[in-house]
């Protein structure tokens, strides 16, 4: 997946490549099991979506994700809206490279000191902080809302 994650292959090209290799190694019957796995686009977290929508009333919200070019379609599928969407595939570099964070910041055209970055991966939080971002470990909606309130956004704390 690294090739698709940094945009060398599209998500579909990557999936086709995996299917071909599995068929070569285990026979074509194994590919019948791939359909349901490919169709699974994850689940929407309604609590987080509501918090992000509330934040968007006050300031732009973006996402930086290590993923393929399927990110925009996945967000649309789940009816999740961001002002800025950056997949590692669209940037050509993935986290934890500082270049990924800098590329996203540059494209948003917002001063680094005015941005907050949250991630559930400690390595990515550390990498983001080395680029000057206010980086925080994401542990759940409650902590996220508390952190955002410290930045002056009265979001209310989810149950």
Q: pLDDT tens-digit profile of 1-17?
A: 567 777 887 878 888 88
Buried b (16+ CB within 10 A) or exposed e, 51-73: bbebbeeeeebbbbbbbbbbbee
Whole-model pTM? 0.85
What ranges do the domains of the chain cover?
Answer: 2-39, 46-150
| CATH superfamily label, 46-150 | HAD superfamily/HAD-like (3.40.50.1000)
Q: pLDDT tens-digit profile of 84-94?
A: 999 999 999 99
**How buried is residue 145: exposed, middle or buried, by Cβ count under 10 Å (0-12/13-18/19+)?**
buried
């Amino acid at each position: 997946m690294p090739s698709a994650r940094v945009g060398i292959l599209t998500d579909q090209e990557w999936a086709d490549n995996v299917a071909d290799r599995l068929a070569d190694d285990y026979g074509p019957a194994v590919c019948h099991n791939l359909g349901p796995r490919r169709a699974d686009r994850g689940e929407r977290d309604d609590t987080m979506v509501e918090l992000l929508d509330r934040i968007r009333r006050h300031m732009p919200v973006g996402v930086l994700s290590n993923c393929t070019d399927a990110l925009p379609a996945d967000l649309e599928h789940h009816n999740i809206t961001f002002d800025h969407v950056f997949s590692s595939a669209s940037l050509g570099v993935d986290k934890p490279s500082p270049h990924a964070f800098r590329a996203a910041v540059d494209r948003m055209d917002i001063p680094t000191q005015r941005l907050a970055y949250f991630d559930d991966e400690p390595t990515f939080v550390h990498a983001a902080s080395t680029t000057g971002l206010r980086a925080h470990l994401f542990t759940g909606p409650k902590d996220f809302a508390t952190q955002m309130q410290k930045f002056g956004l009265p979001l209310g704390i989810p149950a």
